[in-house]
Structure 1
Amino acid sequence: MSIPDHARANFQTLLRAAENGHLALMECADAVTGEPRYVICAVSRDGDYLFTPFGHLADGNPYEAYVPPGSEPASR
């Protein structure tokens, strides 16, 4: 499985934001469930602050939320 170009570009943007100290962790609400999510955002400023969300932190144990490439998900 290869990583798509848009994901690579977003990751590079995230790395640049981290290098420059332009990251924020924001509490937001999930658009579907309304549950709280802790979202990693890049921060820029053009007059007002602009927060660009990149993803949220995994709830619970992240080792249980993901499987490596080539592995089969555990049956539930």
Structure 2
Amino acid sequence: MPIPDHARANFDTLLRAAADANLVLMECLDAATREPRYVLCAVGRSDGEYVFTPFGHLADGNPYDAYLPPDPKDPAGFIVGPTI
């Protein structure tokens, strides 16, 4: 499955921020659960103020347990391991 244009544009922005040393890890609260999240943010300036643009948070626990990778044998599928 192709990556959507908006996701690719956000990733490119994230890479530019990292290359320019304008990337931070910020502790925030999840808006729904109020649990702490560690959020990757690009830092910019607007009208003399700092602007933090969130791009995503780091996975809690083992990130290999949080995601299913794409299946190289099926472009539209994902590798589903055994369930517990």
- 1:75 is aligned to 83
Structure showing the higher strand proportion among its residues: 2
Listed one character per residue, the Cα deviations across residues 24-71 of structure 1 (whole Å, up to 9, x for unaligned) are 100000010000000000001120100000000000011111111121
Superposed structure 1 runs of 4+ greater than 4 Å apart: none
How many pairs does the alignment contain?
Answer: 76
Paired position in structure 2 for 1:49: 50
Gaps of 5+ in 2: 71-77
In structure 2, the partner of 1:40 is 40
Q: Whole-Å Cα distance in 2 between the matches of residues 73 and 8 of structure 1?
A: 27
After TM superposition, the score normalised by the length of structure 1 is 0.93
Matches within 5 A, 1:1-76: 1-46=1-46, 47-69=48-70, 70-72=78-80, 74-76=82-84
Identical pairs, percent? 68
Q: Counterpart of 2:12 in structure 1: which amino acid?
A: Q
Q: Following the alignment from structure 2 to structure 1, what is the Cα–Cα distance between the partners of residues 45 and 61?
A: 33
Between the aligned partners of 1:30 and 1:36, the Cα distance in structure 2 is 6
Unaligned 5+ runs, structure 1: none
Larger Rg: 2
How far apart, CA to CA, are the structure 2 residues paired with 1:56 and 1:8? Answer: 17
Letter in 1 for 2:4: P
